[in-house]
Amino acid sequence: MVFEQFAAPQAITDARMKSLLGKRIRGEFYLYRSALRMADDIDTKSIEEAESLAGAFEWNVVRVSKGSISFLLYESFDDAPFPALLASTKVDLSSGEVTSTDYRNRANPPILHRKELLLPPDDPRLPAFRALTAAAEEHSLFKDPKGIGTRKAWEARIAGAGLVLRGHGLVPANEEHVEVVRHRTAIVRRYLSQPMQLMMRFGVVGKGRTIFDYGCGQGEDVAALASEGFEAFGWDPHHAPKGPRAPADVVNLGFVINVIEDPRERIETLRAAWGFAKRSLCVSVMLQGKYSILGHKPYRDGYLTSRGTFQKYFEQQELQSLVAAVTGEKPMSFAPGVIAVFKDKDLEQEVLLRRHSRAFLDGALPRPPRRERTVVARPELRERIGPAIEALRPRAIVLGRMPEQEEAPADALVCLSENRVSWQRALDLLREDLAADAAFAAAGRLRREDLLVHIALMQFPGAPKYRHLPRSIQADLKAFFKGHSAAMDESRRLLFAAGDRQGVRGDVETAIAEGLGGLRGSHHFRFRSTVLPRLPPRLRVLVGSAEVLQGGVESSDFVEIDLETPRIVMITCDDVDRPIPFVVERTFVDLGRLKVSTDRRELGMVPVYFKSRFMPADDPGRDFQATFEAALASTGLFESDSREPEWAEVKALLQVRSTEFQTWQPLRHSDDSPAWS
C-alpha cells in the first residue's frame, strides 16, 4: 500500500522546526521568505544588510552561499507546482557588488523542485506539496537530477512517464479531469461532533489541555469548547484559513482525510496533524458499508458525489493500518471510524482504563440525597474550607478513592492554601463525608473491577507494556489492592479464568438475566458493543483479549461470544439504529490459534431481523424495536425455527403492506444516509 513507505514523523518541537528549515544543495542554503522568522542558524542580519544593498526588489526565496546572498523571485508557490525562476539579485558580501538577472522572457527558465523544503513546518500548504514530491519520486522523475533543472526538460520528463500536471497533482495523461470541491463537505452542527464527544468522555480532552481542530470546517466544535472555557483553536483551508496552526496537547483530524482524493496528500495531512500533537491525535473517517453510494461515481479509490465532493469510505482495519504506518503508534479505537493515537503513554493508559470503565458510562452512579451526619471537625474549620471539600467530593466519587494532591481541582488547592489547612487534614474531612456514601462505595467497587480487567489485559501477549504506570493508576493499585504485586496476582487469576468455558457460560447467564444481551441459537451470546463495560469481568477479559489482536470493539455494533470455542465475532452493520440493520462485516478472532479473519458482505444481503434480543434492557429504543418486531412476527414469515426468510421475501411483503410499516421508516439525516431497503 502507498502509506507503507512513510516513516513516523516527530513532534514539531522548536528544535525540530529549526532542523526542518531550508533546502541545502552543494553548500547553498535556500529558504522561503516567510520561514526567516523561525531561522536562527543563518545570519539574518547579513540578509537584511544585503537586501538594503539590493534596493527595491520583489523576492520570495533567499539563497545563502559562501560569500554571497541572492534574492530570488519564483512563480507563485500557490499556483505553480514547480515554480520557474523569474528574476534574481545577487549581492557579493565582500565587495557589495549587486548583480541582477531577469528570466521572464526566457523560453526555458530554471525551475524549483521540492519547494516544500523551503517552507516553515507550520505552513498549511505542506501536505499538498509533499504529496506532489512523493508522486514524482514514485514515478522515478528525480532519477537523473542533472537533466531536470529547466522547464522544458522537466516537462519532457513528465510527459515521457505518461503523466500530466493538474494543479498540484501528477496524474496519468488519460485520466478524466475532475474538479473536486472539498469545502462543500463541511456541515453545520448544533452539537459537538462525535469524535469530540468521545474524546471528552474518555478523558483525552479536558480543562487545562489545548485542543487544535485541524480542518475545523465551520468551527462549531471550537466555538462550543471555547464557550465552556476550553483552550481550543482551529484551522481550515477554506472556512478558517487564517486560523492558528500550532502544537497542541490534543489534535482532532475529524472527517478530513476521507474527503481528500489524493492518497499521498491524505498521508501528508495525517503526518502534519500528528506533528502538531503533543499528547494525542484523534482521527475520524466515514466507513465503508455505513453509507449509501447510490448516485456516486467511482473515482480513484473512492467516489465522487452529486455535489462535486469526494468521499473515500474506509474499512476500520484500513484506517488503523494507515494511522499506525504514519505515526508509528498502535491506534486505540473509540467508535466505528474513530481512532486515537498517543505520544503521552501515561494518558494512553488512563484512557485505555477509562474506555472500558463502568464508572465513566453516561448516567452511571447517581448520587443519593445527602444525609445528616455527625460533624467531628470544628465547625469553623469545615465552614472555612467547605468550598474545597465540595470541589473534592465529585472527584473522589469518580475515582472511587481519595484523590492524590495532583488530582485535585486547582480551586480546591487554592482554598486550602489560603486557609492554611494541610492536604491530609482536608482528606480526613472528606473521608468523614464519604464514609457512608453509597455512590462513593459503588464507584470504588467498579473502579477496582475495572483495574482488575485492565491489568489482566496488560499481561496478554501483544498488549502494550510499560515500565512505569501513570501516577493515577499507581494510586489506584495502592488504594484497591494494597500494591502492585497483589494486583498482578489477582489479575492473572482472572486472565486464566477467562479460559474456563463453564465459568464463561455462567457469567453469560448472569449477563442475560441482567438484560445485557441474548443468545443466538444455543451457544452464541450476542450483545451491543456499548454494554461491554457492564459485563462480568471474566467476559470483559475474554473480549478484551480479542481486542488485543484486532482492535477495539467500539468499531463494531455487536459482539458475539462463542460458548463452545474460544472465538469472538465482531459484527458491523450499515446502520444499527434502523429497525432492520444489515451486516456488512464480521471479524472472527480465534483466541485458540491467535488468528483473525474478516468476512465482508454485500450491502443489503444479511439482515438482522430481531435485534431487540441483543439490545440492553434499558436501551431507550428497545420498546420501539420490540413493537416493530411484534408487527414483523405477525406477518407469518418467521414461524419456522429452522431458518429465517430471505430479505427479498420480507422486503416484498413490507412493500405490499407499506401502509402498516411506513411508520417504522426512520428519518434520513442526510443525502448520504442509507435507504431503508
Give the pLDDT confidence of 266-307 residue by residue, as tens digits. 999 999 999 999 999 999 999 988 887 888 999 999 999 988
**Cα distance between residue 369 and residue 367, in whole Å:** 7
pLDDT in the model for residue 613: 94
pLDDT, mean of residues 510-514: 97
Q: What is the pTM of this model?
A: 0.80
- Confirm if 83 and 149 have CB atoms less than 8 A apart: no
pLDDT in the model for residue 60: 95
pLDDT in the model for residue 388: 93
Residue of 619, 611, 612, 566 whose CA lies nearest to 592: 566
Q: Which helix (H) or strand (E) holds 87?
A: strand 85-92
* Residue 654 pLDDT level (bands cut at 50, 70, 90): confident
Q: Which amino acid is at 673?
A: S
Percent of the chain with pLDDT over 70: 88
pLDDT in the model for residue 15: 42
- Rounded to the nearest 5°, which phi and psi values hold at 149? -80, -10
The least confident of 13-17, 64-68, 107-111, 155-159 is 13-17
Domain boundaries, the chain: 22-120, 186-343, 379-436, 501-619
Instruction: Tell me which DSSP letter residue 369 carries.
Output: P
**Cα distance between residue 444 and residue 424, in whole Å:** 20
Q: What is the pLDDT of residues 98-119, one digit of tens each?
A: 999 999 999 999 999 999 999 9
pLDDT in the model for residue 603: 58
258 has pLDDT over 90:
yes
Burial profile 22-37: b = 16 or more Cβ within 10 angstroms, e = fewer: bbeeeeebbbbeebee
Q: What is the pLDDT of residues 550-576, one digit of tens each?
A: 877 888 999 999 999 999 999 999 889
Residue of 260, 212, 246, 206 whose CA lies nearest to 228: 206
- Using DSSP, state whether 542 is helix, strand or coil: helix
Q: Per DSSP, what are the bridge partners of residue 80?
A: none
Q: Half-sphere exposure (CA, 13 Å, Cβ side) for 15?
A: 1
pLDDT, mean of residues 375-394: 81
- Confirm if 46 and 55 have CB atoms less than 8 A apart: no
pLDDT, mean of residues 414-440: 92
The CATH number, out of the four listed (3.60.60.10, 3.40.50.150, 1.10.580.10, 3.40.50.720), of the domain defined by the range 186-343 = 3.40.50.150
Which whole-number Å values give the CA distances from 361 to 113, 216, 501, 533, 534, in the listed order? 53, 28, 28, 8, 9
C-alpha cell at 355: 474506555
